Amino acid sequence: ASLGQMVFAFGRNLAGSSVVRQGTVQSADATMAVDGMQITHLLRSDAIYSWEQNGGPLVNAQGELLGINIAAVGPGGRVEGFSVPAQVISSHFQDMVRFKSALAGSAPAGAQPVAMGAASWWAKAQSVVGGGRGAASGLGLNVVQGAPMAAVGAPLFDPDHTGGARLAGYSMTDLMGLVALAFAAGITGGMMTMGGGVLQVAGMMVFFGYGMYLIRPVAFLTNVAVYGASALRNNKSGLIQWDKVVPLIPWGVAGVIIGYFIGNAIGDSMVGVLLGLFAMAMAAKAIHEILRPDSDEDLAAANSEEATALDDLMAVAEGKADAAPRRFALPSGLARSAILGLPMGLISGILGISGGVVEVPLQRYIGKIGLQNAIANSSVLVFWASVAGSLVAFAHGIGTGLIHWEAPVTLAVLMIPGAYIGGILGAQLMKVLPVPVLKGVYAATMAAIAVKMLIPS
């Protein structure tokens, strides 16, 4: 392992579902103090963040084993990730035991050598680690650096063998949680036409421990279904301006492809930070509008470019007409199409969200398109960008062995109905609830996401 190398730390949670996090090697020769003993020559990585990863493998991007995970509680109470290097394990294991090797079928089973000397093996192991067979019972549990080993926050049973009902390899608890998350994301997006994707991606990272290699194809497939249905409705209503949206599609597709590989390059930790900053900005905007309810009129009078789609959406919710967009002269051509289409694709590819929160104001204030038409046009652009994102995410993920196609398809099938129904309910709530309440709920949701993503637990 080399400093800065991209790694993946695997584990298993209480429900028996896999947990994986992407990170980097922070040190190739770290030291950990446990019960007065200095354990040296360890790897250190931010990919290891929870006791659920104890005993799990730390692998590189090629799937090669680098070490076995240890989640230790540091002096400040935070989890610090270490890993026993694979070569160290192999070297010490060979000091204690030798494996016989033979070609398959070279001799009948009865003629195979019988493993001898088990008692002497344990005696040698005891001399190395100290104590008897039960002395290592604390291994695989959390340890506090500089203190005796103890089961800090770890379960008292083995989640790998707890059983329970499962569907497609997922526990029923996780499946119900994913459906609930999709429903909540749908309500958020339906109320505000933005923010639902941020909640979905952040929730899958924080509550389920999924990495972006799995989250992106799930999010893209969900967007294909939800925004595809929305585009069909908008087309039937005659709101889509095909002459204006078609030139943007290639730029949106190019943006999501480029953004996908940028997101992979910067890693899940940085994506989490960007999601947190994104949510913080959206929460700040909503709070500003609550504190200054007249800001819409002030901005309109000043002909400001800083108003967002949130302002216009609230104007529609209050029964106001589709106000004329602010003036911003931009000549037609490739540059105009790139400015209107590329940012949405980049943000979608990097963060795994739809990007509509960016596309709607771009079409409003640069494209000079009415609000309803801007939302309708954006649904088409998000749909085609998500189709491209799905193809790239599946091709790259399966080709490199990072995902199996069944996993994202299963999760998407579970989450699409919840997102769709939640979106319908959210749209109804937008018509019923007072505007300050909508903005308050939205601000609180985005602020909670920002805190969770930006402040390590």
Domains and CATH numbers, the chain: 6-93+122-144 (2.40.10.10), 167-454 (no CATH)
Half-sphere exposure of 190 (CA within 13 A, CB side): 23
Task: Give the per-residue pLDDT at 360.
Answer: 84
Is the distance from CB of 241 to CB of 418 less than 8 angstroms? Answer: no
Mean pLDDT, residues 344-366: 88
Please give the pLDDT value at position 302: 36
| Among 269, 214, 204, residue whose Cα is nearest residue 45 | 269
- Sequence-separated (6 or more) residues with CB below 8 Å from residue 51: 71, 79, 141, 142, 152, 153, 154
Separation between Cα atoms, residue 172 and residue 133, nearest integer Å: 36
Q: Does residue 203 carry a pLDDT above 60? A: yes
pTM for this model (two decimals): 0.63
Closest by CA to 416, choosing from 78, 99, 181, 122, is 181
Q: For residue 68, give the 3-state DSSP assignment.
A: strand
Contact between residue 45 and residue 26 where contact means Cβ atoms under 8 Å apart: yes
Q: Are 418 and 183 in contact (CB under 8 A)?
A: yes
Q: Do strands 143-144 and 65-73 pair parallel, antiparallel, or not at all (unpaired)?
A: parallel
d(CA 291, CA 295): 9
- Phi and psi at 105, nearest 5°, equal 80, 10
8 A C-beta contact, residue 154 and residue 41: no
Query: What does the block give as tokens for 427?
Result: 């749209």
In tens, the pLDDT along 111-132 reads 434 344 445 544 544 454 444 4
Helix (H) or strand (E) holding 227: helix 212-236
User: Distance between CA 351 and CA 215 in Å, rounded?
Assistant: 10
Q: 83-120: per-residue pLDDT in tens?
A: 998 877 776 565 445 555 544 444 444 443 434 444 55
pLDDT single digits (tens) 304-347? 333 444 445 455 454 444 544 444 556 677 888 999 999 999 99
79-85 and 57-60 as β-strands: parallel, antiparallel, unpaired?
A: unpaired
pLDDT tens digits for range 211-228: 888 899 999 999 999 888
Question: What is the separation of C-alpha 379 from the centre of its chain, rounded to a whole number of angstroms?
Answer: 23
